[in-house]
Structure formats: structure tokens, C-alpha cells
């Protein structure tokens, strides 16, 4: 697979393939590569995104003197060597191995360490574990849109509430949790072969979770109960009979709204849709299966009680429900998982795709944080 062509990339950003990284050939975008010896910044995307999600941030970091680079993570885009089948081995997608992928990228890019590791959405989990496990490599950390609450405890308390999935299904309006839906066999086909096509599926998905969908007015939930979770939009707590393609189709933006969208134009969206039409979504969905199954929690428990002590910051859209989808997570991140959390920024006018919706503001926040880190 060739790298993304320069015609779809901003000036100063190039794409290339790093061969032989932890069993993968990893596709990366980078900026600030012309001058050797620059401090490094590693950027990790989430679902359903790509390295391309950082296209507006990479040039800003390079202009400020950094070598910034973003990989298509395992299961995504033009990175090759991962198994696209539902029946495939989940072990390569466990978080210790995803952190190993990140470490391999840093090494292949010629750096012994990075000034900051930055993770958005599911990329925040990888960034969190990488920073936790290798503070000597990852000197600081910035998380976006998804709080990192640390490794699982060695001893888990006995459940005190009914099964959440049964409780959601028993609501007057029966519901289900999207992460467990994403862990099922039909999820990939539902999105990859969506009736509306991949391009329109992604347009509706990105719109529905952005600040452009005006009903995104998130607030802190009282607890992990079906009644509380059901207050969230259907991209998180889905109607029981829907697939995600059907859930987002109801919120498809109008042609006028699409034309007015400056943070994700139709040519930019086509970069995403072309990639997902080719690969499907299963690679990214394997990450959800790792999380919901708990199969690999035992090795994460090795780090139980350990905290991220490096300087850290959190950036999210003020219209992003992702901050609150796990009740109490934002507080646990600040008070327990991270001992040096310097800033929490909620960016007005942005939803879940904060680094795309408000790229200039996010870039300034990143640069302010980087300058504060010695």
C-alpha cells in the first residue's frame, strides 16, 4: 500500500511507510522533518479516524519547532499487517501491544523520547498506558475527548447493581451500549455495507457527534445505571434494534449543512471514506472487543496503583458527551490516575472531534502546554 498522496495533505506534511514495526508496516504523516534534532510529538487517533485526523495540527506543531508525527494505528488505514477478520487473534490489539506499536514508531522516526504523547478518543487510552509504562520515553501527555482512569485494580469489588445490558434492554424504550454493540459480529458489516454507503455513514456519524448537532449539550451523569446512561444520544446508548448505520442515518445533515461545514469538507471526508471502503471497520472494532471482553485486563493489573506523574493536560469539546459517558471518569483522571494534570480545557464550539472542529484553538492549547514542559 502506497502512502497517502501529497495532493490530499496540507503543505509541509508528508506521508510515508515505516516497515517492520512490531509486525506492521505503519503509515505515518509527519511535519517538521526537514530539520534534524527537533523535539518530537506523537499524535494518536481514535475511532473511526486515521492519522489524517491530525492534518490541521501537524503543521502548527512543525511551525513551532517540533517534529510531529501521527500513525494510522493498528487496524486502520494504510498501516498493513493486521488481521481484518472478526475471528482473528485479539491479542495484538491489547493495550500493552498498542503501546508497543507507539514505542516502535518513535524509534523508527529516529527519537529516543518524545516531548509529548497526544491521544484522542481511543488513542487517549494508548497514550495513557504508554505514558504509564514508559515515563522515560513519553515525557508528557495530552489526552483529548476520553479521560484516562488508569489501570484496572487487582481486586475488583463484587457487582452491586443488576446487569447493565439487561437493564438497558428492559427500559420502556429498550436500549443497548454502543461499545458492546461494536464488539458483536454484525457491527462491521452494518457500517461497511451501510445502506447509505460508507461516505454518507461517516458524514452522519461525524456530524452527530460534533457541535454542529445542536442537541449535544452534555452534563455529568449521576451513575452507571440504565436510566442515567439512556440520557445520552443514540450514538452511545443505541436503540436496541438499531445498528450504528441506522442510528446515525436519522441525523444525516442537510445538503446545506454539509456545504457549510468547514472543518470536514467533502474532499476531506472522502479521504476517510475511501480508506474505510477499502478496509472496513473491523480493525478498529477489535479494540472495543479487547475492552469489553476484559480478556487482557490481567496484564494491565501489573500496573495497578501506578500513576501518570508526567506533566499532563486534557482537551475536549464543550459539546462532547465523551467526557461524561463513563460517570466519574473525568474526576478519577484528575484525582487518581494523573498526579500532574495541569490543565483541563473544554473548547466551546467543538464536539467529539475537537482537533478537527477547532484545530487552531487546539493547536494553541497544545503549544502553550508544550512550552510549559521543561
pLDDT in tens, 50-101: 999 999 999 999 999 999 999 999 999 999 999 999 999 999 999 999 999 9
Q: Residues, the chain, total? A: 374
pLDDT of the residue at 1: 86
State how far the Cα of 358 lies from the Cα of 349, in Å rounded to an integer: 7
Q: Contact, 66 vs 41, CB < 8 A? A: yes
Mean pLDDT for the chain overall: 97
70: left (phi over 0), alpha (psi -120 to 50) or beta: beta
DSSP SS3 for 347: strand
Per-residue model confidence (pLDDT) at position 161: 62
Set of cell numbers at residue 367:
503549544
Of 291, 180, 174, 179, give the one whose Cα is nearest residue 230.
174
pLDDT-based confidence at residue 156 (cuts at 50, 70, 90) = confident
pTM of the model: 0.98
- Check residue 170 and give its pLDDT: 98
> 67-71 and 24-31: which strand pairing?
antiparallel
Q: What angle do CA 287, 293, 295 make, to 5 degrees?
A: 95
One DSSP character per residue, 324-335 reads: TSSTTHHHHIII
Q: What's the pLDDT score for residue 374?
A: 80
The residue among 19, 76, 28, 21 whose CA lies nearest residue 55 is 28
> What's the pLDDT band for 157 if we cut at 50, 70, 90?
confident
- 112 grid coordinates: 529516543
DSSP of 142-167, one letter per residue? Answer: EEESS----SPPSSPPPP-S--HHHH
The Cα–Cα gap between 71 and 30 comes to: 9
How far apart CA 122 and CA 74 sit, in angstroms, is 12
Query: Given a cut of 80, is residue 158 above it in pLDDT?
Result: no
Structural domains of the chain, ranges and CATH numbers in brackets: 6-153+297-372 (3.40.50.1820), 164-284 (no CATH)
Mean pLDDT of 226-241: 98
Query: Contact at 8 Å (CB) between 362 and 59?
Result: no
Start-to-end Cα distance in the chain = 39
Compute the chain's Rg from CA coordinates: 19
Q: How many CB atoms lie under 10 A from the CB of residue 161?
A: 10
d(CA 74, CA 69): 15
Q: Which residues are catalytic?
A: 121, 352
- Contact (Cβ atoms closer than 8 angstroms) between residue 152 and residue 302: no
User: pLDDT exceeding 70 applies to what percent of the chain?
Assistant: 99
- Binning pLDDT at 50, 70 and 90, where does residue 292 land? very high
CA angle 14, 8, 264 (to 5 degrees): 120
Q: What percent of the chain is predicted at pLDDT more than 90? A: 97
Residue 77 and residue 279 in contact, taking contact as beta carbons nearer than 8 Å:
yes
Amino acid at each position: 500500500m502506497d502512502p497517502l498522496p501529497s495532493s490530499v495533505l496540507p503543505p509541509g506534511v508528508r506521508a510515508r511507510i515505516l516497515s517492520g514495526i512490531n509486525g506492521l508496516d505503519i503509515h505515518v504523516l509527519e511535519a517538521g522533518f526537514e530539520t534534524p534534532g527537533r523535539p518530537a510529538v506523537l499524535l494518536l487517533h481514535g475511532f473511526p479516524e486515521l492519522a489524517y485526523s491530525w492534518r490541521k495540527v501537524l503543521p502548527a506543531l512543525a511551525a513551532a519547532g517540533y517534529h510531529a508525527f501521527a500513525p494510522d494505528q493498528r487496524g486502520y488505514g494504510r498501516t498493513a499487517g493486521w488481521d481484518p477478520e472478526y475471528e482473528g487473534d485479539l491479542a495484538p490489539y491489547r493495550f500493552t501491544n498498542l503501546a508497543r506499536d507507539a514505542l516502535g514508531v518513535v524509534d523508527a522516526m529516529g527519537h529516543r523520547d518524545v516531548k509529548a504523547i497526544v491521544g484522542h478518543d481511543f488513542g487517549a487510552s494508548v497514550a495513557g498506558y504508554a505514558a504509564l509504562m514508559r515515563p522515560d520515553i513519553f515525557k508528557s501527555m495530552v489526552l483529548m475527548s476520553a479521560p484516562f482512569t488508569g489501570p484496572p485494580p487487582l481486586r475488583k469489588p463484587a457487582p452491586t447493581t443488576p446487569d447493565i445490558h439487561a437493564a438497558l434492554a428492559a427500559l420502556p424504550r429498550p436500549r443497548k451500549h454502543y461499545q458492546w454493540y461494536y464488539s458483536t459480529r454484525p457491527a462491521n458489516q452494518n457500517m461497511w455495507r451501510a445502506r447509505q454507503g460508507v461516505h454518507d455513514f461517516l458524514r452522519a456519524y461525524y456530524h452527530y457527534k460534533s457541535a454542529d448537532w445542536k442537541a449535544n449539550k452534555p452534563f455529568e451523569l449521576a451513575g452507571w445505571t440504565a436510566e442515567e446512561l439512556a440520557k445520552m444520544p443514540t450514538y452511545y446508548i443505541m436503540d436496541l434494534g438499531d445498528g450504528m448505520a441506522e442510528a446515525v442515518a436519522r441525523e444525516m445533515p442537510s445538503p446545506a449543512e454539509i456545504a457549510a461545514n468547514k472543518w470536514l469538507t467533502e474532499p476531506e471526508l472522502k479521504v476517510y471514506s475511501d480508506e474505510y471502503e477499502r478496509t472496513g471497520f473491523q480493525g478498529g472494532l477489535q479494540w472495543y472487543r479487547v475492552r469489553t471482553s476484559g480478556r487482557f485486563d490481567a496484564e494491565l493489573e501489573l500496573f495497578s496503583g501506578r500513576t501518570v506523574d508526567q506533566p499532563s493536560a486534557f482537551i475536549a469539546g464543550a459539546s462532547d458527551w465523551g467526557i461524561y459517558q463513563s460517570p466519574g471518569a473525568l474526576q478519577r483522571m484528575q484525582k487518581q490516575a494523573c498526579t500532574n494534570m495541569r490543565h483541563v480545557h473544554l473548547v466551546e464550539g467543538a464536539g467529539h472531534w475537537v482537533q478537527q472542529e477547532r484545530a487552531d484553538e487546539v493547536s494553541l492549547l497544545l503549544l502553550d502546554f508544550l512550552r510549559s514542559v521543561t
